[in-house]
């Protein structure tokens, strides 16, 4: 019984006015959607106004990153507590762009993930291998290390406040989507890794998304796979048409398996 979750990662895009317009259109167009969770992750400066605009809707707001300290002399940082105060209910952590360009290590991701949950947000923990790592058959080893770091302080009771996003680095923003079978196989391995850590009942209830060039064209095939519980969407989340189509694809997978979901 896992509810699919579609999250739009807007990255460094959209002014407050542009973000409000996009968020409002998404809110209106997914208003009738049932059994699929929807969230958008705007830039920090837009979180509060967009969260206010979405307050009476089914669309939630997420941060794209945060720091692990709650307050203090950390110039330029934003804490999960402040994200919550601004109206966010989720926060992405460990995105490959953070790991690649800002040096976020597996240990950092673990600290941030724990802080996010401690602030009563849900952590969207991103993991995924580079092209070279996949070619060298290191995918499972890399993901095992990323999970060891990210989940180091997370208890099994806290797993209800975690979503994992499997995002192969080679698929992000490239148009080279993983095939549905590749995504399913790796996500099933992630579930196995987590079931070794927490037990299978816990791992079976944890949601694991796929991310990497998801579009209206490939969403249904990807989201129909049994272990894939939604999508983290970058480029296609910047237009209401494509984002809403992906949400619709997720609703079709729920309707297709009414006895399971």
- Residue number, 46 or 209, with CB nearest to ligand PEP: 209
- Residue number, 123 or 198, with CB nearest to ligand PEP: 123
Among candidate residues 142, 235, 228, 136, the one with its CA nearest the CA of residue 179: 228
Q: Which is catalytic among the residues 97, 129, 133, 167?
A: 167
CB 57 to ligand PEP: min, Å:
23
Q: How many residues does the chain have?
A: 261
Sort strands 59-63 and 37-41 into parallel, antiparallel or unpaired.
parallel
Q: Which is catalytic among the residues 95, 97, 129, 133?
A: 95
129 is catalytic: no
Chain residue at closest Cβ approach to ligand PEP:
234
- Residue number, 126 or 198, with CB nearest to ligand PEP: 126
Among candidate residues 175, 260, 233, 123, the one with its CA nearest the CA of residue 249: 233
Which 3 state secondary structure label does DSSP give 110?
helix
CB 260 to ligand PEP: min, Å:
26
CB 177 to ligand PEP: min, Å:
8
User: What DSSP string describes 160-208?
Assistant: GGEEEEE--GGGTTTS-PPPHHHHHHHHHHHHHHHHHHH-HHHHHHSEE
CB 96 to ligand PEP: min, Å:
8
95 is catalytic: yes
CA 66 and chain centroid, separation: 14
Residues that bind ligand PEP (CB under 6 A): 9, 167, 172-173, 211-214, 232-236
CB 223 to ligand PEP: min, Å:
14
- Residue number, 23 or 183, with CB nearest to ligand PEP: 183
Which residues in the chain belong to E strands, given as ranges?
Answer: 5-9, 37-41, 59-63, 90-93, 122-127, 162-166, 207-211, 230-233
- Residue number, 22 or 81, with CB nearest to ligand PEP: 22
Residues 125 and 103: their CA atoms lie apart, in Å, by 16
Active-site residue numbers? 95, 167
């Amino acid at each position: 019984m896992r509810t699919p979750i579609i999250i739009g990662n807007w990255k460094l895009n959209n002014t407050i006015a542009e973000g409000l317009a996009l968020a409002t259109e998404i809110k209106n167009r997914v208003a009738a959607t049932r059994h699929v969770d929807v969230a958008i992750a705007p830039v920090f400066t837009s979180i509060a106004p967009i969260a206010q605009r979405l307050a009476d809707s089914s669309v939630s707001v997420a941060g794209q990153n945060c720091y692990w300290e709650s307050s203090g002399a950390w110039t330029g940082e934003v804490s999960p507590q402040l994200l919550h105060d601004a109206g966010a209910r989720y926060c992405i952590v460990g995105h490959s762009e953070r790991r690649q360009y800002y040096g976020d290590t597996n240990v950092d991701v673990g600290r941030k993930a724990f802080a996010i949950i401690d602030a009563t947000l849900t952590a969207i923990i991103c993991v995924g291998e580079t092209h070279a790592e996949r070619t060298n058959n290191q995918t499972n080893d890399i993901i095992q290390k990323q999970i060891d770091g990210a989940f180091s302080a997370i208890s099994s009771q806290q797993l209800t406040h975690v979503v994992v996003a499997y995002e192969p680095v080679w698929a992000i923003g490239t148009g080279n989507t993983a095939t549905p079978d590749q995504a399913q196989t790796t996500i099933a391995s992630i579930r196995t890794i987590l079931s070794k850590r927490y037990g299978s009942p816990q791992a079976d209830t944890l949601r694991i998304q796929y991310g990497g060039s998801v579009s209206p064209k490939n969403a249904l095939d990807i989201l129909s796979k049994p272990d894939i519980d939604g999508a983290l969407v970058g480029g296609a989340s910047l237009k209401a048409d494509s984002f809403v189509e992906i949400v619709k694809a997720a609703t079709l997978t729920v309707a297709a398996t009414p006895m399971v979901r």
